[in-house]
A and B are shown apart, each in its own frame.
Chain A
Amino acid sequence: MFNQISVYHNPESGLIVMESEVEQSDTFNPRIPTDRLCSINWCTEGSITVYAKDMTLVDTYGVAERMMITNPSHLSLGRCLLICASETAKYYCLHNNNSQEIYYNGDVIQLSANEERTFTDNNGHFIFCSLGSLTNLNKFALKTIDSDSYTVTAGAEGAIITVFYDSTDD
């Protein structure tokens, strides 16, 4: 069973972040054929075990761990099954809602309370906050990194952020 809601959506660009309250299972579909995912997927609560379409175990991912499917043969099967491995889980899927031709790549980062982090190779990339807040970015808000040395500071409750970019042409 799942309920899914867009917590961030830019209809013009198609960028969307869906939040799911997962009680049992869900699936996500990489493009066919493909050797990489077009989406970035992660949890902020609980854990999720990912299986390939042929039910080969891929891995179990906990909070702030980007779900990766590194075996191309598993990706080529075209569908992955996500099983909630905890009582419940809250997971996010960042992708493009307008086109399957657009790929995103990046990192999911957990920051402790008031922790600072400086990004030096991410000018032009985006930051999305899915838990807690940064001093200059609220939960479910998006910001563009606009310098070669960009420092963020987590709020008093810490934060989970996704630093990502459009990797279509990589």
Chain B
Amino acid sequence: MSMFGYNTLGFGSIAGTAPVTLDLTLQGGSVSRTNATYTGVSIGTANTNRMVIIQGAVSSYGSITAPTSITLNGTAMTLVRNAYNVFIAYLKVPTGTTATIVISGGGGAFNQQIITINTVNAGANQTSIQSGQAAGNGGSLTHTMTTDPVTTNGVFIWGGNGFNGIPNLSLLTSNPSGATTTLSYSSGSGGSNNAMLMGYSECTTADSRNAQIRNTNTETSGKVASALYSVFTYFQTE
């Protein structure tokens, strides 16, 4: 293949299309947002294939209703929301470098990370919403989403929130590239028994891979279970 995405064959030139690259980019860092209108939010460089993704999780104790609506420049984002404490929203946004984001229906402030990727697809290829409880005295609960197969231009974006007991969260994946954390809050921070952890993992193979979040409950009485709420998404470029 020559430059500029053209395949040159012996019988002439056939116009081709350069493959879309994922180009996962964090737009700024963690920002706390609640039900309100936010203007001038950076969403990076315009691209016809740009997908804007917002990860959200709470760092406050208890069950906080996830937003029921998020619009970006007036268009509704697709929400992958657990009932409480964690969500991922996404929308194709080809133009502009900043956006107006309107959040509503949520029960409080969520720490949020904006991620952009490129994909020709209109949405996520796979999603999963899970919840449960890790028993006390060292019990653990692992939530898993498996995608079979992933592609080398795919990415898992996921995370969760744990509370009650003493939650200790970890992001796991069978991807060789491992998990990169974007949002975190550890149990014990500020005296809270609440934790959140969100991140992503870019795929480098073309086979079955998974993303996981584990809550290990280190309370010692054995009487207090620890809740885990999680959401998973998998995107790929084509």
| Chain A interfacial residues counted at CB < 8 A | 16
| Inter-subunit contact A12/B132 (CB<8 Å) | no
**Does A58 touch B at the CB level, under 8 Å?**
no
Q: Are A16 and B129 in contact (CB under 8 A)?
A: yes
Stretch at the interface among B74-82, B93-101, B193-201: B74-82
A112 within 8 A of B: no
| Chain B residue nearest to A99 in the complex (CB) | B68
Contacts of A3 in B (CB 8 A): 130-133, 141
Q: Decide yes or no whether B30 CB sits under 8 A from chain A.
A: no
Chain A residue nearest in CB terms to B128: A6
With an 8 A cutoff between CB atoms, is B123 at the interface? yes
Q: Are A4 and B131 in contact (CB under 8 A)?
A: yes
> Does B92 interact with chain A (Cβ within 8 Å)?
no
Contact of A98 among B79, B123, B124, B127 (CB under 8 A): B79
Contacts of B130 in A (CB 8 A): 3-6
- At the interface, is chain B mostly helix, strand, loop or mixed? strand
Q: Are A11 and B124 in contact (CB under 8 A)?
A: yes
A4 to B141, CA, bound (A): 11
Q: Which residues does chain A contribute within 8 Å of B68, judged by CB atoms?
A: 98-100
Q: By the criterion of a CB under 8 Å from any partner CB, how many residues of chain B are at the interface?
A: 19
A76 at the interface (CB under 8 A from B): no
Residue among A2, A4, A12, A99 with max Cβ neighbours from chain B (10 Å): A4
* Residue-wise interface mask of A (1-31) relative to B, using a CB-CB cutoff of 8 A (1 in contact, 0 not): 1111110010110101010000000000000
- Determine if B127 and A97 form an interchain contact, defined as CB atoms under 8 angstroms apart: no
A11 / chain B contacts, CB cutoff of 8 Å: 78-80, 123-124, 127
Contacts of B133 in A (CB 8 A): 1-3
Q: Is B225 an interface residue (CB 8 A)?
A: yes
Other A-B pairs beyond A2-B131, A3-B132, 9, CB < 8 Å: A1-B225, A2-B133, A4-B130, A4-B132, A5-B143, A9-B127, A12-B123, A14-B79, A98-B81
